[in-house]
């Protein structure tokens, strides 16, 4: 699991410093991503755990990645990118696993 060390409200969203696997990581959850999480009754902590401990990570459009976490028949999809060495979560939603899940591939990993 991961532990939130601190969080700061910014104009763009909430900036978290998270410790996971003995490593400190800075993650920005944009307001848009947090609103999406709220739509699905998902906490910021859950969102961070989906991102840090995914079942797979695939490439999205441009320089973005999508972290997948299986939720039975559904799939939590956390879309993120890197900006100046920090992780920025752009959006979050839940979809059917059969549509998007590729079987456990990792095209990026936040933790080794």
Between 36-40, 82-86, 93-97, the lowest mean confidence (pLDDT) is in: 82-86
Backbone angles phi, psi at 64, to 5 degrees: -95, 155
Give residue-wise pLDDT tens across range 22-70: 889 999 999 999 999 999 999 999 999 999 999 999 999 999 999 999 9
Query: pLDDT band for position 106 (50/70/90)?
Result: very high
* Mean pLDDT for the chain overall: 94
Percent of the chain with pLDDT strictly greater than 70: 99
Q: What is the pLDDT of residue 112?
A: 67
- CB-neighbour burial class of residue 88 (10 A; exposed 0-12, middle 13-18, buried 19+): buried
């Amino acid at each position: 699991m991961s532990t939130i060390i601190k969080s700061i409200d910014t104009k763009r969203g909430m900036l978290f410093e998270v410790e996971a696997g003995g490593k400190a990581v800075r993650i920005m959850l944009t307001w848009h991503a947090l609103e999406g999480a709220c739509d699905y009754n998902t906490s910021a902590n859950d969102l961070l755990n989906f991102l840090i401990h995914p079942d797979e990570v695939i490439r999205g459009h441009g320089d973005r990645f999508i972290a997948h976490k299986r939720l039975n028949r559904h799939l939590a999809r956390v879309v993120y990118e890197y900006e100046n060495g920090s992780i920025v979560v752009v959006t979050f939603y839940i979809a059917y696993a059969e549509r998007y899940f590729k079987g456990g591939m990792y095209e990026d990993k936040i933790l080794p």
